[in-house]
Amino acid sequence: MAQKKWFNMQTEQVESELGTDIKHGLSKEQVEQGRQKWGKNELPEPEKDPKWLKFLRQFNDTLIYVLLAAAVLTIVLEHYADTVVILMVVLINAVIGYFQENKAEKALEGIKKMLSLESTVIRDGERKEVASSDLVPGDIVLLSPGDKIPADLRLTVASRLTIEESPLTGESTSVEKNTDILPEDTVLGDRLNMAFSGTAVVSGSAQGIVAATGANTEIGKINQSIAEVEELKTPLLKQTAHFGKMISIAIVSIAALLFVFAAVFYDYPIGELLLYVISLIVAAIPEGLPAILSIILSLGMQVMARNNAIMRNLPSVETLGAVTVICSDKTGTLTKNEMTVQSIELSDRHLDVTGTGYAPEGKILEDNQEIDIAEDKELQLFLSNVLTVNDAYLRKDNDEEWTISGEPTEGCLVTLAEKANQEIDRLPLLSKIPFDSSYKYMAGLVE
């Protein structure tokens, strides 16, 4: 199914291939059959290591090996109290590292936002809200502004639909979609009759047939490619491993020399001398180094998670800090995709606007003085117009961050109106001409 070129098919052919109907959708029995065949509409996760293996991995360090060897020697010498002390040091170090790694992993739980939580579908001829994870190929999905697209869809209806596809293409500008059949060799970025999982509807409305779910979607293929990338050791892990080996060799070598020197030139009992040397090794080894590194990296990961920067593993925190050059071929790839009004040009005046982003924090200034909107009818009319002929809305998300629903260009104008020192109202519209790329404007008729 995933290999079929849905963008090159008529709508009727897509319906036939997927055994669905645009008006009535899938039946309950068809949905159940599809779920058994294709599974849940979720990106596959790599198999997680069991907890016992995560704990044992804390002992995989050269310094720890030396301590464990010292513990074995104390057992041979029947100094069990020393054995217990050494093993307690090793165990405490492992427990600290284990809990810090778990804490870092929990900071990432719940951040699965590539698929929307719920979708509007047509099943058994009725419009329903269902969990996106329950979608199957053949489902009829309805889209509206602000929706995250839950699966790869072949569009059957597209009314002034624009979609933001940066997760797939890296382009910051939204793409206008349609339902026209496309040539067989059309590349991914030009498949305008398809809507892809993980992208978002900016404006317009649409209806589409689910063509692929889960790992079979385009973003699922990207996920699979990432999983197949060979893992390399980070600079920090390489340096730590090298440091651990060097310091272990140095400590053991010095201890061996002291043992030989004392045995040759002083009449110490061999067992007692060996115990002294072991004590020296245990005291000299920085056994807390792995735990300290885990704590520092865990704290860094949690701070970055709070700022919406997600790290897949602890060493990545240090790797990001070691980056000196970032090469990119697109400006839109590295921007926040936010627009801000910096100035206003009226018929005979130039006004400055302070503040950045979508947060309505700033002022409208003329000659560095804030303008009283109530006394400036021209500016008041301008702000009322840009707010009225506008499909975007400003709101706060769950993290109390200001975001918009709609196009960035329209969103920045809503923010501009909110920066006025008095409330600006949207005028009641009798009719509206929506924005279209062919004539590049939006207009409205007010009462």
Write down the pLDDT at residue 154. 94
Q: What is the pLDDT of residues 26-69, one digit of tens each?
A: 998 999 998 899 888 887 766 777 778 777 877 777 767 777 77
How would residue 170 be classed by pLDDT, with cut points 50, 70 and 90?
Answer: confident
Q: Is 185 a catalytic residue?
A: no
CATH class label, 343-446:
alpha beta
Q: How far apart are CA 404 and CA 381, in angstroms?
A: 23
Q: How far apart are CA 149 and CA 397, in angstroms?
A: 19
Calculate the CA dihedral of residues 345, 350, 355, 361 and round it to 10 degrees: -80
Q: Which of 144, 169, 146, 142 is nearest to 156 (CA)?
A: 142
Write down the pLDDT at residue 315. 67
Q: Whose structure tokens read 């006394």? A: 375
Backbone angles phi, psi at 342, to 5 degrees: -100, -25
Query: pTM for this one?
Result: 0.54
Q: How far apart are CA 332 and CA 309, in angstroms?
A: 18
How would residue 290 be classed by pLDDT, with cut points 50, 70 and 90?
Answer: low
How confident is the model over 350-360, as a mean pLDDT? 90
Write down the pLDDT at residue 115. 42
E-assigned strand segments in 280-363: 343-345, 350-353
Calculate the CA dihedral of residues 26, 29, 31, 35 and round it to 10 degrees: -160
Q: CB neighbours (10 Å) of residue 166?
A: 19
Are 15 and 202 spatial neighbours (Cβ–Cβ below 8 Å)? no
Q: How far apart are CA 155 and CA 440, in angstroms?
A: 24
Q: CB neighbours (10 Å) of residue 204?
A: 19
Write down the pLDDT at residue 393. 84
Are 196 and 155 spatial neighbours (Cβ–Cβ below 8 Å)? no
How would residue 169 be classed by pLDDT, with cut points 50, 70 and 90?
Answer: confident
Q: What is the pLDDT of residues 175-234, one digit of tens each?
A: 899 999 999 888 888 899 999 998 888 888 899 999 999 888 888 887 777 666 566 666
Q: Which residues of 171-183 are buried (b: 16+ CB within 10 A; e: fewer)?
A: ebbbbbbebeebe
**Annotated domain spans of the chain:** 6-43+114-226, 51-110+232-294, 343-446
Q: How far apart are CA 227 and CA 323, in angstroms?
A: 22
Between 237 and 428, the more confident residue is 428
Backbone angles phi, psi at 405, to 5 degrees: -115, 110
46 to 15, 43, 312: CA distances (angstroms): 33, 10, 12
Q: How far apart are CA 340 and CA 21, in angstroms?
A: 44
The structure tokens listed for 18 are 């997927």
DSSP classification of residue 197: T
Rg of the Cα atoms in the chain: 32
Q: Which three-class secondary structure state does DSSP give residue 76?
A: helix
- For the cut 80, the answer to whether the pLDDT of residue 354 exceeds it is yes
Q: How far apart are CA 14 and CA 212, in angstroms?
A: 12
Mean per-residue pLDDT of the chain? 80
The H or E element spanning position 247 is helix 235-265
Choosing from 329, 348, 397, 399, the catalytic residue is 329
- For the cut 60, the answer to whether the pLDDT of residue 104 exceeds it is no
Between 235 and 138, the more confident residue is 138
Cβ neighbors of 124 (< 8 A, separation 6 or more) are 24, 25, 26, 27, 28
Range in 100-104, 157-161, 260-264, 353-357 with the lowest mean pLDDT: 100-104
Q: How far apart are CA 138 and CA 145, in angstroms?
A: 22
Write down the pLDDT at residue 228. 60
Q: What is the pLDDT of residues 248-280, one digit of tens each?
A: 788 888 888 888 888 877 777 777 787 777 777
User: Domain 6-43+114-226 falls in which CATH fold?
Assistant: 2.70.150
Are 80 and 74 spatial neighbours (Cβ–Cβ below 8 Å)? yes
Write down the pLDDT at residue 105. 61
How confident is the model over 307-322, as a mean pLDDT? 67
Share of the chain above pLDDT 70, in %: 84
Between 332 and 134, the more confident residue is 134
Range in 86-100, 146-160, 166-180, 287-301 with the lowest mean pLDDT: 287-301
